[in-house]
Amino acid sequence: MIKKLLATKSIDDLICLSEDKSHSLKKVLGPLDLALLGVGGTIGAGIFVLTGQAAAQYAGPGIALSFILSAVGCAFAGLCYAEFSSMIPVSGSAYTYAYATLGEIFAWIIGWDLVLEYLFGASTVAVGWSGYVVSCLRDIGIKVPPAICNAPGTSFVDVPGQGWVSLTKEAAAALAAKGIDPAPLHHACGMINLPAMLAIVAITALLVIGIKESARFNNAIVAIKVSVVLLFIGFGAYYVKAANWTPFIPGNTGEFGMFGWSGILRGAGVIFFAYIGFDAVSTLAQESKNPQRDMPIGILSSLAVCTVLYIAVALVLTGIVKYTFLNVPDPMAVGVDAAGQGLYWLRPFIKLGAVAGLSSVMLVLLMGQPRVFFSMANDGLLPQVFRRVHPRFHTPHVTTVLTGSVAALLAGFLPINILGEMVSIGTLLAFLIVCAGVWVLRRTQPERARPFATPWVPFVPLMGILISLAQMVSLPWQTWLRLVVWMAIGLIIYFSYGIRKSARRCAPPAGRAQK
């Protein structure tokens, strides 16, 4: 049993399976496509949604420090991802890397974890997308009832001049400070987030049509949303009030993770979700024209660009509006509105940019998940229907439709804070295992060619492990409980199906003799 659990698959076998022409994916992506897909998958929920929420609930204006801490951890993990993606240009990302280094049971764990990361990630972004769409519609006089654009159990109050505001403890306190009593105001509760569900259905349809078409859509969207983010930073800086940054790190409430330095750490763990875009790039290695060269460029360049933009937006946003008012699905829209008439002209651009930007993040995440399923089915850990490729479009259409359907249900019925925290802990676990895998492979196969080599091993992977683990520990215990339950479900599936069906030796593709 132990031998089966720890069985690894050679890198040569992994590449061999990926060349099976009957189940192949199109190699159409260049370095610019990959870099833009990384930016497209990263610049989105982190800036447009989670920045405000993490500031309101955990870190205050110090959320900028949380982004810096997360970026450091991402830099270490990104270097490890770059080495693996250039060595093993196979769809599957961290799942495949774990199979090659740590063994089948670890590969299953990380593969199941990636389901959590991408599936819940797409749902989280869809909820943010819904918030900005509703805000845009409100600007043109169309008021969408909160009941059909929010998850069940969420409460709202209609504040004169502000519209519907999520009625959290922080928001209630901020309203009280302005002399507003929410009790006599009109209240409402969410029932289903219909716009979020419809967005996922539309993106899923695009992904079934083709990878190149999806990449072209993403490239256009990235140009729009990066321009919008730069406009917000450049013009919003003139409306920053230093008083909103005071105190920069609000005092701890007496509970770990609730402001203070522990809040900075928890904020880093929560917004770590914002960096999963470059992780998703690694799932596209099998569709890259020259993965040995292009994958490191795509991963590292997208990470560098996004980190700078995240920190700048966090500072400007918390400087324009008091962090206590940012616990909403559309915090950047709230920031623009708070600036008043001076930024009125920018409001439609910001909101439309957010809608477009979040669309591309959904696309990248919903693109990554089916390819993880594809690789797991290639290895026999999932039924062979999961590796079916559309005869015309050459996309994994079965898993794409399945992923989109489940993501739509999650987006329709779960609140964004639960979704975001689940994605963060899943992402951190993936980073931890990838960093460990680089270290293990350097010891077990030091002679293997590495088109891109992670520098300063074991320092870089060790720091990636420690920072990821520290941020995981800082997350709420409820998030850990959900992770344990999720992993228990995955292990039941593995021991009832995967361990009996896994294929550990490469079956040569048609027309190719086994060496």
The structural domains of the chain, with segments of one domain joined by +, span 2-154+190-501
| pLDDT for 223 | 86
DSSP secondary structure letter of residue 162:
T
CATH C-level class of 2-154+190-501: mainly alpha
Q: Is 365 exposed, middle or buried (0-12, 13-18, 19+ CB in 10 A)?
A: buried
Residues contacting residue 362 through CB under 8 Å, at least 6 positions apart: 122, 125, 126, 129, 199, 200, 203
Q: How far apart are CA 362 and CA 202, in angstroms?
A: 10
| pLDDT for 506 | 45
| pLDDT for 456 | 92
| pLDDT for 202 | 92
Query: Which residue is associated with the tokens 């993606």?
Result: 85
pTM (2 d.p.): 0.75
Q: How far apart are CA 382 and CA 112, in angstroms?
A: 11
With contact defined as beta carbons under 8 Å apart, do 326 and 52 qualify?
Answer: yes
SS3 157: strand
Select from 429, 60, 431, 50 the least CA-distant residue to 270: 50
Residue 327 CB neighbour total at 10 angstroms: 24
Per-residue pLDDT tens listing for the chain (515 residues): 788 888 888 877 776 665 555 555 667 788 888 888 888 777 876 677 778 888 999 999 999 999 998 888 888 988 998 888 888 877 656 788 888 888 899 889 988 988 887 888 888 888 888 887 887 888 788 888 888 888 887 777 777 766 666 666 666 777 777 777 777 666 677 789 999 999 999 999 988 887 667 777 778 888 888 898 899 999 999 999 999 999 999 999 888 888 999 999 988 887 776 777 767 777 777 778 887 788 888 888 888 888 899 899 999 999 999 998 888 767 887 888 888 888 888 888 887 888 887 888 888 788 888 888 888 888 889 998 888 888 887 788 899 999 999 999 999 988 766 776 777 788 888 889 889 999 998 998 898 888 889 999 999 999 999 988 988 888 888 889 988 999 999 999 999 998 888 865 444 444 433 33
Select from 52, 14, 6, 12 the least CA-distant residue to 449: 12
Sheet holding 163-166, edge to edge: 163-166, 155-159, 187-189
Structure tokens at 401: 């439709």
| pLDDT for 514 | 37
| pLDDT for 165 | 66
C-alpha distance from residue 155 to each of 282, 411, 485 (Å): 39, 17, 27
Residues contacting residue 350 through CB under 8 Å, at least 6 positions apart: 228, 231, 232, 332, 333, 336
